[in-house]
Amino acid sequence: MPSVKKRLGKEGYRKVLIENYVLVYKIDEDCKIVNILRFFYGAQDYIRLI
């Protein structure tokens, strides 16, 4: 699983933990926009679902 996390990081995916949830997002540096991609319940295997 660590290789998948590294790959997602290299592809620009970021995550933030908010209580029991995981927010997955990407930042478009050129346009200065944050694109929210998915919002998961923390108990889910979010890596598999992306």
Whole-number Cα distances in Å, 7 to 13, 19, 31, 32, 36: 9, 25, 23, 23, 18
CB neighbour list of residue 28: distance below 8 Å, 6 or more residues apart: 34, 35
What is the rounded CA–CA span in Å between residue 14 and residue 25?
Answer: 5
pLDDT digits (tens, 9 = 90+) for 15-48: 899 999 989 999 999 999 999 998 888 777 777 7
> The pTM is what?
0.72
- Could you list the residue range(s) of the whole structural domain that residue 45 is in? 2-49
pLDDT digits (tens, 9 = 90+) for 2-13: 676 787 788 888
CB neighbour list of residue 24: distance below 8 Å, 6 or more residues apart: 13, 14, 15, 36, 37, 38, 39, 40, 46, 50
Domain count for the chain: 1
